[in-house]
A = this chain, B = another copy of it.
Amino acid sequence: MLKIAVLGCGRIGRMHAENIHTHPRATLAGVFDVVDAAAQDIAETLGVTKFDSAEAVLASTEVDAVLIATSTPTHADLLEAAIAAGKPVLCEKPIDLSLDRVKLCAERIKGTDLPIMLGFVRRFDRGHAGVRQAIEAGQIGEVHQVTITSRDPGMAPAAYIEVSGGIFRDMTIHDFDMARFIMGEDFTTVSAIGARLVDPDLMARCDDYDTVTVTMTTASGKQCVISNSRRAVYGYDQRVEAFGDAGMALSENHPERTVRLFNASATESQPPLLNFFIERYAQAFAAEIDAFVDAVEQGKPAPVGFDDGAKALVLAEAAILSVREGRPVKVEELA
């Protein structure tokens, strides 16, 4: 049994803690949060150790590996500390909002053999992963166009938006990773447009956008489009389409339940989409823990690693630059 401790006991940390607790080949080695009550609550509910500091977690011989679900500004420090302490890491995205800090982190952990996994959970969704599997099985031929639609069910609180790093680093970051995952190739050019249509005042105050479209190309000319909105009233809209020279594969939305309603005014009506990520990606979050346990147990690289986190952030930076300067940006400009 792999003993995993969870750093950070907010909503996502709690969910990870529960998934580790119920995993057949892992145990929850304990939890820590700077807000002691949050850690205390999980510790009591699940009957596990509450640690008093991140240092104590990393020093414990009862901890084989750590999951970092703290606030974003602490990710890089904790990741470095965990590696220094010899603990494999599953780190929530993003590594950091600053590309320079990420590059520094890369420098500091260079050469480690320890599995480092980034929390790009959507790669573990059976639907999205099914698109990639269809590609690898040759079912749609060579991919020409990837289309990702990704819309949150509602605007996050202003307090969150203000420290989020902006939509590209906070929200599109998942889609940048998904684009790389599905395409199976790196992108060389990024073109983005941003608009303030949902909450213009908040967006203007934060110098952010709530509605964006990103176009990317690979060296060989393959194309990807990402459409984001911070608010889809019908729920959490998460779709992936891969179009190839021998076919197309689509990963579809998940309504709350599979009921179709017919009446005098409409047919085939389904309930709103699952809302929000913890519900929509419940299967994926569990599969993510499973993949991490696999990687650590077998001493093999994580299926999505530090480099993937860094590359997604580079695409985000390219998109930000593209919007700011109103031009396509070459990824190599940010090297």
Tell me the A residues contacting B by CB distance below 8 Å. 18, 21-22, 24, 45, 126-127, 129-131, 134, 139-142, 144-145, 147, 149, 151, 189, 191, 193, 195-198, 211-213, 215, 217, 220-223, 225, 227, 229, 231-235, 237, 243, 245-273, 326-328
Contacts and interface: CB of A to CB of B under 8 A. Distances in A.
Interface centre among A225, A265, A271 (most CB of B within 10 A): A225
Contact of A127 (B130, B151, B237, B258): B258
Contacts of A249: 259-262
A298 B198 CA distance: 42
Nearest to A217: B193
B263 A266 contact: no
Given A147-B227, A250-B262, A255-B268, 5 more contacts: A18-B22, A130-B259, A193-B215, A193-B217, A250-B261
A165 B144 CA distance: 23
Contact of A223 (B213, B250, B253): B213
Residue among A129, A193, A213, A261 having the largest count of chain B Cβ atoms under 10 Å: A261
A140 B261 contact: yes
B258 A126 contact: yes
A239 to B, nearest CB: 10
Contacts of A212: 223
6 shortest interchain CB distances as A-B pairs: A195-B221, A247-B263, A130-B259, A126-B257, A234-B262, A248-B262
5 contacts: A141-B233, A145-B211, A232-B248, A267-B272, A268-B269
Nearest to A260: B250
Nearest to A24: B45
A223 B211 CA distance: 8
A233 to B, nearest CB: 4
Contact of A261 (B126, B134, B256): B134
B248 A195 contact: no
Nearest to A139: B261
Contacts of A264: 233-234, 246-247, 272
A56 to B, nearest CB: 25
A262 B141 CA distance: 11
Contacts of A196: 221
A215 to B, nearest CB: 6
Nearest to A272: B267
A115 B125 CA distance: 39
A243 B249 CA distance: 22
A308 to B, nearest CB: 22
Contacts of A21: 22
Nearest to A147: B227
A103 to B, nearest CB: 28
A271 B217 contact: no
B259 A266 contact: no
A95 to B, nearest CB: 29
Contacts of A247: 233-234, 261-264
